[in-house]
A and B are shown apart, each in its own frame.
Chain A
């Protein structure tokens, strides 16, 4: 399956891109996407303790969360609205 990855704020600075597409096997989970993202963009490793992940525009804390073909995984750095 193909999954779109979005990088915002400090994550975009580290990755050097705002978005990317990754290929994952069928049945892949958020954990699989995280591993693939780290392989492609190792510079984000140091900010991982600060970030949350969103799948299809909703926060997901369960690494076993299943992904769908054409879905979106976003790396959400600390939010700072207001």
Chain B
């Protein structure tokens, strides 16, 4: 897999995403990994179930990459997101950003993950010890 945006049904190796953005002129590499956590507020979470509107999600991820590259022209950024049933501790998303220097790499990585959480049609069901909820639908 060599695409800068991807939706995977198998575990993500962050190094594989980093490899897509590294280059001999890029001395700063920032990688964000979103990992499945065992709680939300006071609720105990046992697993997360992700699904996506796949073709649209990939389109929006590519649009976001365009926005990030416009804001930080020296940065190259890639993002892979996991789908399916994820146990605690599993990586759900990896964003890797590389630039000649660290500052734009940090900023670009944060901008990408923030935008992803706003607009990429990926959905998450939180399975708790007392039931399950679709995240974002209120308490």
Contact = CB atoms under 8 A, between A and B. Distances in A.
A82 B93 contact: yes
Interface residues of B, number: 28
B126 to A, nearest CB: 9
Interface residues of A, number: 19
A77 B136 contact: yes
A67 B125 CA distance: 31
Interface in A36-82: 47, 50, 54, 57-59, 74, 76-82
B116 A8 contact: no
Contact of B119 (A6, A50, A57, A59): A59
Contact of A81 (B55, B59, B124): B124
Interface in B6-44: 34
Given A79-B119, A79-B120, A9 B93 contact: no
Most chain A Cβ neighbours within 10 Å, of B53, B57, B59, B119:
B53
Contact of A78 (B34, B53, B137): B137
Contacts of A50: 136-138
A8 B124 contact: no
A79 B137 contact: no
Contacts, number: 73
B59 to A, nearest CB: 6
Contacts of B55: 57
A79 B117 contact: yes
B137 A77 contact: yes
Contact of A10 (B34, B118, B134): B134
Most chain A Cβ neighbours within 10 Å, of B51, B135, B138:
B135
Given A79-B120, A79-B136, A81-B93, 11 more contacts: A8-B121, A9-B51, A9-B123, A10-B123, A10-B134, A57-B59, A77-B134, A79-B118, A79-B119, A80-B122, A80-B135
Interface of B: 34, 50-53, 55-57, 59, 81, 92-93, 113, 116-125, 134-138
